[in-house]
Amino acid sequence: MKKFKTELLIIGAGPSGLGAAIYAARAALDFFVVEKFIAGGQIVVTEFIENYPGFKDDVSGFDLMQSIIEHCKKFNINIHESQSIESMEILRSGRKSKCKFVCRGQDIEVVAGSIIIATGASPRRLYVEGENEFIGNGISFCATCDGALYRDKEVMVIGGGDTAIQEAMFLVKFASKVYIVHRRDELRAVKSLQAKAFAQPKIEFLFDSVVDRFTGGNKLEEVTIKNVKTNEKTVKKIDGVFEYVGIKPNSDFLKGFLKMDEWGFIITDEKMSTSVSGIFAAGDVRVTPLRQVITAVSDGAVAATFADKYLDDLD
């Protein structure tokens, strides 16, 4: 077990965690960044981002995060990758204001005076028959990773939000046809994306529709779609399915420790403070009206600024 002590622990190295790290570095804080997988966060699989100021030409999520990681290197920020924190406890030392937090993972223990939770969110699943069987074998959550496998083939995107529409627009580069299956008759995606998708002849919308089940042999072959208004079922021969039905916060390890909403998003105030003094949350893991790279980075900056103030006030 590797043991560390630090003033500030940042958990997660996506846009919010790295935004926090840059602000913590400039505040000359002693801090430590852990990341469960590799630095970058879920945005690295987004094909293009057209709304991050300063990047007027579409930039891929991967390239944008590489720029942010390079920026961190300028401040000598060390990201401890492949380290997950799985539990947390408060180490009291008499005075409540002097408490410390003990964070443990499989082979790491970090004692910190303050914490920023920047663990982000993961793709939600449909949980329908056949889904488990065909994940990685016809069902994917990443068009950037798997889209090229479907050159001149018919694919299906599930969902009606920004991600679904954006990734469908990416898939038309390869696929001969892209069905978008959405459970309502109106998309959730921003109007500018909708306009692009409606104008794309390779895209066909199946509104008021949900996936009933996935079937096939060694790999996915058919998707049964159910119209939720008529209950009519249609079987479509499909080569690949991309699920984009939203996200789930990576906050399970904090259940019962911090206040969350019914879906597990962490509740914060405008300073990113959580229900436990000294613990802050930033980015997609918190309750927020907008989940974008720009808001995640901004949350990180606010969290680091107020973590610094919290630590100063303890001195």
Binding test (CB under 6 A) with ligand NAP, winner from 32, 141, 174, 244: 244
Nearer to ligand NAP, 246 or 264 (CB): 246
Question: To the nearest whole angstrom, how small is the minimum distance from the Cβ of residue 210 to ligand NAP?
Answer: 5
Question: To the nearest whole angstrom, how small is the minimum distance from the Cβ of residue 105 to ligand NAP?
Answer: 27
**What is the rounded radius of gyration, in angstroms, for the C-alpha atoms of the chain?**
21
Check if 72 is active-site.
no
Binding test (CB under 6 A) with ligand NAP, winner from 36, 100, 188, 213: 188
Nearer to ligand NAP, 64 or 301 (CB): 64
Per-residue binding letters, 211-230, with ligand NAP (x by CB under 6 A) = --------------------
* Residue 39 interacts with ligand NAP (CB under 6 A): yes or no: no
* Footprint of ligand NAP on 117-176 (CB under 6 A): 126, 158-164, 166
Check if 142 is active-site.
yes
* Residue 96 interacts with ligand NAP (CB under 6 A): yes or no: no
Tokens of 272: 């990113």
Nearer to ligand NAP, 110 or 165 (CB): 165
Residues known to be catalytic: 142, 145-146
